[in-house]
Amino acid sequence: MKCESLSLAKYIEKSQNIFFIFGPEVILRNNSKDLIKEHLSQKGFNERRIVTKENFDQIEQIILESSGGSLFGSKLIIDISHDQGRLPDKIEKIFNIENIFHNENIAIIINSHNEKLNRNTKLYKTMEKNALIIECKKLKSFEEKIWLKSQLEFIPNQDRKNFVQNIYELNAGNLVAQQNEINILKLTYKNGIDISNLLYKDSAEFEPFELEDAVTNLNTKHALRITSSIKDSEAHYAPLLVWIIGKIVTSSAIAKQNANPKLSLEKSGIWSSKISSYMKFIKFHSLQKLISFQKNVYELDLTSKGLSKKNFWDDVDRMIISLTKN
C-alpha cells in the first residue's frame, strides 16, 4: 500500500509491520515515524534497534536473531535510516528474507531521505504489495493548515484557529519553522497568551507562480509578501515575475473584450481552476485600466533587464498595489 503522510492514520491499522518513509519534508517524515512507533508500541513492540549505513551489513543477522522474539516476550522495531541515493543491496535483501512479511515479532521502519521513488522497479512493486509506503511531499497551502491544526490539538478550540492562522501566515511553506513555533507553544502556552509575543519572524517561502493567484484574487497583502520573499532569497526570478504579471494583464485585457470571457481565458491557456479568480479580476478593472497596465508591464520588463534606472522591486510593488486595489 501507499499513502501520503497526512492520511497515515487511516492506513496504519491495515498495514503489515514494514514501513517505508520517503520524501522531501523532513518534518513529515519525523511525524510519520513517531506515529508508527506509537502504533507499534500499543502492539507490544517495546525494543528498538537503530541501523545506519555504518552497520547495514548487520541487518539480516539482526532480523534472523530476532525472528522468534526476545526471552522477555517483547517485540523488536528495527529502525533503519537511509541517506539519499539508491537503496543499498543490504536493505533491498530484507524483502527476500523468508516470512519477513508475516513475522509478528519484528517491525521494520525504513526512513529514507530520497525525495522520489521509481515506481517501475521490482523493489517498489514488492514494497507496495507487502509494506506501507508513506510519501512525505511538500504540502499545498490548505494541507499545511490541516497539518498545523492537527499539531495544535493541545490548544483549546476557541484559540486554535487564531494560532493556526498566525503560524501559517508567518511561516507559510516552511514546516521546520512551523514546528519550531509549535514546540515553543507546547512549552509556554497558557490561556489568553498573546501569540504576537511568540511569533515574530516571517520565514515564509513562496514560489513565483503563487503570485498569479494572489493578484487575480486581489489579495494585496499576500502578493506583496510573495514578492518580498522572492526578492530576499531568489532575486533572479525577476524576469519570471514580469512574465506572470504580463500573462495576467494580457489574458484579462483580451477576455474583457470578448463576448465569452471564460472561453477566451481558456484559449489563453488559463487553467480551469483559476478561471473564477481571473473573472473576479476582470470585473474589478475597466478595459481602459487593463490596457494601461500593459504599458506598465513593458516598462517593468525594461527595468528587469537593467535598461531603466528605476528600482525594479519598488516598481513591482507599486504595480501589484495598482492591480489589486482601486
Question: Angle of helix 141-151 relative to helix 175-188, nearest 10 degrees?
Answer: 20
Sequence-distant contacts of 146-150: CB under 8 A, at least 24 apart: 146/6, 147/6, 147/28, 147/175, 148/178, 148/182
For residue 160, the model assigns a pLDDT of 84
Per-residue pLDDT 10s for the chain (326 aa) are 888 988 898 988 888 788 999 998 989 999 999 999 999 988 888 888 888 878 777 777 777 776 665 555 568 888 888 877 777 777 777 777 767 777 788 888 989 888 888 888 887 888 888 889 999 999 998 999 999 999 998 888 877 888 888 888 878 888 888 887 787 677 666 545 555 555 545 556 677 888 999 999 999 988 888 888 888 666 678 888 999 999 999 999 999 999 999 999 988 888 888 999 999 999 999 999 999 999 999 999 898 888 888 889 889 989 999 999 87
Both 308 and 236 in one domain: the answer is yes
Cα first-last separation, the chain: 52
Q: What is the DSSP letter of 140?
A: P
Residue 202 located in a structural domain: no
For residue 68, the model assigns a pLDDT of 60
For residue 194, the model assigns a pLDDT of 53
Both 231 and 291 in one domain: the answer is yes
* Residue with grid cell 522468534, as numbered in its chain: 68
Both 61 and 127 in one domain: the answer is yes
| CATH number for position 247 | 1.20.272
For residue 296, the model assigns a pLDDT of 93
For residue 51, the model assigns a pLDDT of 83
Both 233 and 318 in one domain: the answer is yes
Q: Please state, in angstroms and rounded to a whole number, the distance separating the CA atoms of residues 177 and 173.
A: 9
* Residue with grid cell 491544526, as numbered in its chain: 149
Residue 204 located in a structural domain: no
Residue 51 located in a structural domain: yes
**38 class by beta-carbon count within 10 Å (0-12 exposed, 13-18 middle, 19+ buried):** exposed
Q: Please state, in angstroms and rounded to a whole number, the distance separating the CA atoms of residues 146 and 53.
A: 35
For residue 147, the model assigns a pLDDT of 93
CA distances from 103 to 13, 107, 108, 127, 145 (A): 16, 8, 10, 15, 38
The DSSP H or E segment spanning 130 is helix 122-130
Both 193 and 289 in one domain: the answer is no
Both 122 and 145 in one domain: the answer is no
Both 23 and 114 in one domain: the answer is yes
For residue 213, the model assigns a pLDDT of 93
The DSSP H or E segment spanning 50 is strand 45-51
Residue 42 located in a structural domain: yes
**Per the structure, how many domains does the chain have?**
3
Whole-prediction pTM value? 0.59
Contact 177, 203 (CB under 8 A): yes
Both 103 and 177 in one domain: the answer is no
Residue 205 located in a structural domain: no
Q: What is the DSSP letter of 274?
A: G
- The 3-state DSSP class for residue 49 equals strand
Both 313 and 262 in one domain: the answer is yes
* Mode of pairing for the β-strands spanning 75-82 and 45-51: parallel
